[in-house]
Structure 1
Amino acid sequence: MAYERLGRRPLDYRPVRYAGVRLSFRGPARDLRRGFVACLGGTETYGTFVERPWPQLVEGIAAPACLNLGVPNAGPDLWLAPGGPLPLVQGARAVVLQIPCGMNLTNPLYAVHPRRNDRFLRAAPPLERLYPEVDFTEFHFTRHMIQHLHMLSPDRFAQVREAVQAAWMGRMAQVLDRIAPPVILLWLSNHAPGAAPASGDIESDPALVSRDMLASITPRAQATVIAVISDAARAEGTRGMRFAPLEEEVAAALPGPRAHAEVAGALRPALAALVNEKGPAPRAGPF
């Protein structure tokens, strides 16, 4: 019964900061002078509402200390920005990089906040011409805007999709080129790459990221791990999660403890092979 009531007690993420970086991260702090694996990602890597997220679950089993550099809704703009986390990963034995959403980045059609990448700032003239009937000042979040544009005109939205996806591939290539240690790409989703319907790829993260987009960046990584959350894990809902009473709806949309355990299990073979220097880590599952 106590396990079922965890949702009534908010979680203390023990935020920490590291020298030279403007962001705060989930604690506890890690000693960067010792061997560690760096984990870059968004909300799922940060482990919102989960006491032991996947970076903590692989620690000590498939990897030494894991530096959790997850930031809610992070994308390549945050990673590449001055004061971002990339300097922290350069001394890692390996880096796990969660594949981010395709829409949370500045591109030729719109701009996002440099640190809160899900925040929409403004539309560029080409997007205003493409959707002259839209008042873009009404939008604060990228997903809300993207959903609205797709609803208004799937045909016109094809141009938005093309511009956003091209920007994502270029920006992710920049991120990977700036990381010196070997990288494991982590596809963390409710579906396999390319398995979401054309409209569903807006709702299901990593939104707007196609199989071809993932394939375009895999040559820059040491390995790719495909972690698809099982139906059983999703059916658990908020069981074992910790959140304030008004956060239950948000928590229900995020992976819970069982899902994080599945992600850790998918990562362990590739991560252990890489950290233990047994040769190239295998790809965990086709895509």
Structure 2
Amino acid sequence: MLKIKNKKDILTVLVFLLPAVLIYTAFQIIPLVQAGYFSVTNWNGIAGSAIEFAGLENFKTIFKSPDFLLALKNMFKMVVFSVVFHTPAALLLAVALNTRCRGFRIFKAMYFVPTVFPLSAVGLMWYFIFMPTGAINAFLDVIGLSDMMAPWLVNESTAMNSIIFVNIWAGIGYYMVILLAGLTSIPEDVYEAAAIDGAGPVKKFFCITVPMLKDVIFVCILIDIMGSVKVFDLVYAMTGGGPNGLTNLPTTLLYNEAFKYKHYGQGSAIGIVILLICLAGTLATNLIQAKMKKND
């Protein structure tokens, strides 16, 4: 731990911290304060126009809106499916690649590649794949399943599910790398001792790997919740919120209200709700983790 012995050391620390503090304040704290202020006002975003105090009317308006309630439903669906599939799939891949089999570096790179690209680029790629004349329908036609061909992104029953699938596909590599790093920190002696006691691969996985990766798994879940709540570019690139607003998330509604319709008050209110959901998710995850540690 760094020990600060005199005023000169304090000044040195402050000088190094100042740029980061200024950047964080400019791009995080100030916009957050502004969003909180605009969420209780009516303003059209035009400089010089009147800003009227509205109290909690913007929050009442958005929670009475069927579009916002549907967006919340889509968001929670995105979070649930992401958490259920991301971490377990990533953990299985990490365990498989941790065996150091021939070519494991190539496979690790292959699974991590989708994470390197921006979600907007991933969304555009899958937009073309899901098109009526895209790769998926072409493949279904070739293998004789033409009855299953569909306009995936404009069909009300498949549009949101398609976005959720792409979000899961794009994120598995990221969580795999985190879990793989955690796996390398588990001593081999533990596995060797378990093998001597007659433990098989399944028992080793559930009795050694999962318990010793518990903290890393919770970190992955927390990051996954935050990321799923804030998904924007993927939806915007694939459907733009359509068809008929059925794939909207709170983030896309925020964009539309604030920048399309110039309802800065309602857009800011949606932003505050997103923030509160993120805080609630973080708090719930930390409480569950603390309770599990206490029980251990």
Shared fold per TM-score greater than 0.5: no
TM-score, L = length of structure 2 = 0.27
Question: Which is richer in helix?
Answer: 2
